[in-house]
Structure 1
């Protein structure tokens, strides 16, 4: 028995000696020494891994006695690698390991887990070109997440933007060349969506929501970081697309609804090479839809391939593309007279039958669009990274474009139809090089971006001139009397391609090609003066080189502009409550014009300074209850100076010096008060006025592009978490607006479109691999209108049904 005990003892001692392996420990923090919870710690080329605890500590025991590489990754931070010799019986303490916040395109490509507040995404690399949390950013922005879009069964871009506080559609996409995308009012100024993943991305039609990860609406003049080509004085709209992720999976979605809506969407992600970290994702959609009016349609095919390639821990490449083939009839707005009073001053007097389209499905426009972006990212060090970006966009318009205008010459409410055959193309190229740093000078943390930007846009217009094609009355009447001829004509104007082509045969064809370039240098720094007090300082030097019409050298001009930006931010409760203020700048280049009465001799060229917009803003942001409550309340005051207008004393002269003031308040709330319930709400009130102008037509009046004074939106979505109703859910929401001016000039008087409140509701069932949903838009069938010197009827009640399968 004693020999047996000795033998067992020898076996135990031997097993203990050989079975013991190395132990590696450490603590992971950010640059401010704040522990990071849930950091992934992996042994490269193995299945061994762990995560840090709430104090940032980790412990891992490799089984190999050879050299190993530890990988550290965390969403929103740059990944890190440490090479070690792993020997038996050795305890290695790595001490404090710092992870640095990284730009979005350098993050580990992963699928996010269950988020508490699904309607809020408040960290982005695009708004400030730095990886800032919203509560650290002195600028205000709204984010519309993909979860919010899915809960509302959104099938078009206008409905998606209804969720952005203070944004209202002025008119829908027309598809015409140059500016055929939709127009929206934002803080008193018109804006079009022209930014994709932080880079210029154009469209002449509607943006397909199938590839939208989220929409970011930046508030206030944003020229310091983005220039004036893609932004307005009220802000800008950035569309963030879906990107590849680690793994294989996807979705198939089918939506059908009222007015002939059918949409099928496919989303597929896979690894082309797991070993080489190459992942591919493709989103595609086919949509057809009719109009609620007697004519009108839209159909499109969309495909968006994307690729990510992580060469190593320092170098990565990404490619994104969006290709759209679309055809639609352009909405035939009723354009009100901008120079003389109309017979009608409101909708009741107009007698408008909004079920009439005044067009034909034969008169359509085709809008092929392509956007491509290539990104290369290189980690120069733990504190600096290089970001190289190239984007290219092309959008075209071919087909028939029509509009209806009240010239005020013929009796009654008579709108003359004019049309042309569009043949136009716009191409843009943008090249950016950014250097992004996160470093300390003494004890002060700096997060800095330094960049150069080259932007080029070329437009070609070979469209015909506009031809008269009969008159219509809003109630459906018609006559063929041309208001610009002395004779009374009774010609018929059939809405057919042959009839239109016959009239347009007498019109000339444009042969215009224009081009401009923008060369920019910018820098922005977020300086942490203390842990709770930070300042943002930015400056842009912008050189605008306009070649104008390439066949006319006399319209060439250049302008150089400086655009500053400054902000202060104090956090009484760190990462929970912020008080902020900002100064932001925007500008618009103004082309020289020939002035002087040509009957009095040769005209002279007159030059102007760029228009300037300056904003002061103050507000509060919250991130309370572990992210369950995000709120922003802000007050802004924007003053635009040096506006150029036609001289009221002479139509042959232009004068500079107009001033517009736009101020208001915005409130946005994203809440997750209990599990399964998500709430999104917004309210804005805007007061805009032309305060200085030699043009008495607009002086002391609200600009038409400002849209309505008051806007509000709400969406609440609840999914049962247990019991017999587990997986079932309900949604309810409102969108509303105060009345707005369609016309507001001294000589024309006012034409006011009434206020409205639209209610929407949904019901759904969510299972592991599929989702069934039904949505009722405009539940109470409200008749309402939007417009910008126009009258545009909106869609009546519509029912949507949706099936999504996830694999």
Structure 2
């Protein structure tokens, strides 16, 4: 594979050198108060060239043939502008700042679905990814799930089907309080606004009420200071204050006593637009398909931006979430001879008096942006996270073939503290016709995690719980000793580390930036709790991206990761840091004037010191020698016609042990992936002139073949059946109101994830056919 990638790189470079010398256009879009306008559309009329402005209101359109053009600039709530520009060969045309004027009559309008370009497709990454280059030009596979797609699918939590929109992503378990997401065979750490907030058993799953977009970054992503797993990470970007008035309320109801209300407010707090705000709030209560598991969740998220000048701004966000979760209630156990799904889909393994787990999570973000000059700027941001959990989990003590199960409930209290700091500098300059986009920064993370699962109580003392003839209400509610705070308790598990990273990158553009060479390096120091010495390592990053055609780009990438691992083994030993390297390449193609985008890539990741579940005690992990992940990925996202939008993806993944102290493990498959995964989602908005004006319909599927979760069966083959789920939705909206109805698992399939533990099976079922309706009103 390495030889093929090197050959591809050489060929692409040679082809690109044959290009003619085109030109480019750059400039900025601002308000009359000289505030930057983010995500404004900048399009060259009668061409397939266009882009969106970044967080500083700046844009750059490249690879334009010399000539005279009309530049169209538009943004919701503002009067569109159109100016004439002239593009000269081998030069950048610098356009004076374009001022958009507010159109008061349009401020309250809502864009009807189907009239908005690129409903599901985004051009640029968020500023929290630190990259200024368009997604299609980057030497890396990054997929973005925006708020439009989340709304069409009625996704309210990270665990509700978000993964269907990205190739090769699986959900290992439905824990109820956090999402264990895997991609390319490895667990993905959860990022929020560019910070890695992953814990051993957390953080709390993200509620979509305060989410603007979710970015799935594939590969180590060295530009994030090597803070991500080699398989990648997902970055949740929260809603930010805006100078466009926002006033929205929504009410939802659905199956299993599901009720939810949200509010989204935003706009100017001062007439001059210097002080902006955003407020998001939500409340939800819902049962499960098993019954008697009513759980509440609520949250508030205020944020403010103060524009000190047109060059400097400060944004502060607070997010407080309170959630209840019946941790462990989804588990169902049965003898191996019975097989998966041998009990009813709604079978309940926990008793009616099973206590709820209480979780509170508080996060605080502060971001400072400042433009030093036209070509240089920097950002500094801080974050703090506190996660408190008080509750319990349940598991199986014994299960003979008679079905007489003995269950136990264990305490599960946890406290997680995270402190984060980042600062990075951007710059661009030219030398002898060669462009340089420079990124340099420092990243600091400090995490500590205390967990108490040292107390447990067998609840089936008087008589076993027979799974074939269950009788509920015969057990006592477990009582645990909580006389001390969790961090002060004897025998409590305490893990954590401090990570310090320095990073420098230069994206070098040749031949009017049609060829982009990325050279980068970083140094990481890891100080792990329980280890006497710190770990240090230099890791390089090389990338090449080439525009074969204006709508066709090819890329190759070599990157490494080096990050600490929290937790301890069953024997109390700390784990060595992860070391991995990723080699990949692929092509990215745009269709229909950049409204539809597709990517196809191959990769090979070699990872040392991977953690897997300890077969002696599944509450702990063990560390393997070396594993390798190989795969092919395809993603398509965007608009085919103004009425038809689509998401389509496929991945072939294979992960196996390549080196280990135990020769019998070599060649063994790892858990956490499906060999074949394909997903699709199609949304059709009926034409504005038709009798069905405002109506929309959608349908989507998820299909997984040869899949696993925690463990694999004999001969390295998963014994789980294939997974197929069909979902759909109907919607209607006008300028003020949107009504959305979604039906999940339309075929009413018995769907589950699970594992074979040798002496018994366990699985977690999904609900049968279920529905949800949401009414949204924009003031």
TM-score w.r.t. length of structure 2: 0.80
The counterpart of 1:668, out of the listed 607, 624, 635, is 635
Counterpart for residue 18 of structure 2: none
Structure 2 residue runs without a partner (length 5+): 1-20, 59-84, 98-106, 616-620, 757-761
Give the alignment's Cα RMSD to 1 decimal: 3.9
1:302-701 superposed matches below 5 A: 302-334=299-331, 343-344=336-337, 346-347=339-340, 351=343, 354-360=346-352, 362-404=354-396, 410-412=400-402, 416-462=406-452, 464-470=454-460, 475-477=467-469, 494-497=474-477, 499-501=478-480, 510-511=491-492, 513-531=494-512, 532-548=514-530, 555-574=531-550, 576-589=551-564, 610-641=577-608, 658-695=625-662, 698-701=665-668
Aligned residues: 687
Larger Rg: 1
SS of the equivalent of 2:136 reads helix
Counterpart for residue 149 of structure 2: 148
SS of the equivalent of 1:148 reads helix
Structure 1 residue runs without a partner (length 5+): 1-30, 57-72, 81-92, 102-109, 176-180, 480-491, 549-554, 597-604, 649-653
Residues 1:160 and 2:162 aligned together: yes
Contact 2:418 2:448 in 1 (8 A): yes
Report how far residue 112 of structure 1 moved.
11
Counterpart for residue 105 of structure 1: none
Report how far residue 530 of structure 1 moved.
2.3
Higher relative contact order (CA 8 A, sep 6+): 2
Counterpart for residue 247 of structure 2: 250
Contact 2:29 2:57 in 1 (8 A): no
Q: How many Å separate the matches in 2 of 1:756 and 1:738?
A: 7
Contact 1:353 1:475 in 2 (8 A): no
The counterpart of 2:752, out of the listed 768, 778, 785, is 785
Counterpart for residue 200 of structure 1: 196
Report how far residue 35 of structure 1 moved.
3.1
Q: How many Å separate the matches in 2 of 1:324 and 1:802?
A: 22
Counterpart for residue 741 of structure 2: 774
Report how far residue 128 of structure 1 moved.
4.9
> Structure 1 residues 437 and 749, CA, compared in 2 at 3 Å: closer, same or farther?
closer
> Structure 1 residues 345 and 567, CA, compared in 2 at 3 Å: closer, same or farther?
farther
SS of the equivalent of 1:724 reads coil
> Structure 1 residues 134 and 502, CA, compared in 2 at 3 Å: closer, same or farther?
closer
TM-score w.r.t. length of structure 1: 0.77
Report how far residue 436 of structure 1 moved.
1.0
Contact 2:287 2:293 in 1 (8 A): yes
Counterpart for residue 232 of structure 1: 229
Structure 1 stretch displaced more, 524-533 or 757-766 = 524-533
Q: How many Å separate the matches in 1 of 2:350 and 2:569?
A: 38
Q: How many Å separate the matches in 1 of 2:770 and 2:568?
A: 49
SS of the equivalent of 1:374 reads strand
Contact 1:469 1:493 in 2 (8 A): no
> Structure 1 residues 795 and 558, CA, compared in 2 at 3 Å: closer, same or farther?
same
Residues 1:271 and 2:246 aligned together: no
Structure 1 stretch displaced more, 441-450 or 781-790 = 781-790
The counterpart of 1:799, out of the listed 746, 749, 771, is 771
> Structure 1 residues 55 and 214, CA, compared in 2 at 3 Å: closer, same or farther?
closer
Counterpart for residue 118 of structure 1: 119
Counterpart for residue 717 of structure 1: 683
Q: How many Å separate the matches in 1 of 2:263 and 2:613?
A: 51
> Structure 1 residues 423 and 351, CA, compared in 2 at 3 Å: closer, same or farther?
closer
SS of the equivalent of 1:686 reads strand
Contact 1:779 1:797 in 2 (8 A): yes
Q: How many Å separate the matches in 1 of 2:332 and 2:506?
A: 46
Cα deviation per residue 1:333-377 (whole Å; 9 max; x = unaligned)?
A: 54889xxxx6338316x5565432424464111110011110111
Contact 1:467 1:503 in 2 (8 A): no
SS of the equivalent of 1:738 reads strand
Counterpart for residue 3 of structure 1: none
> Structure 1 residues 428 and 655, CA, compared in 2 at 3 Å: closer, same or farther?
closer
SS of the equivalent of 2:546 reads strand
Report how far residue 621 of structure 1 moved.
0.5
Counterpart for residue 83 of structure 1: none
Contact 1:364 1:401 in 2 (8 A): no
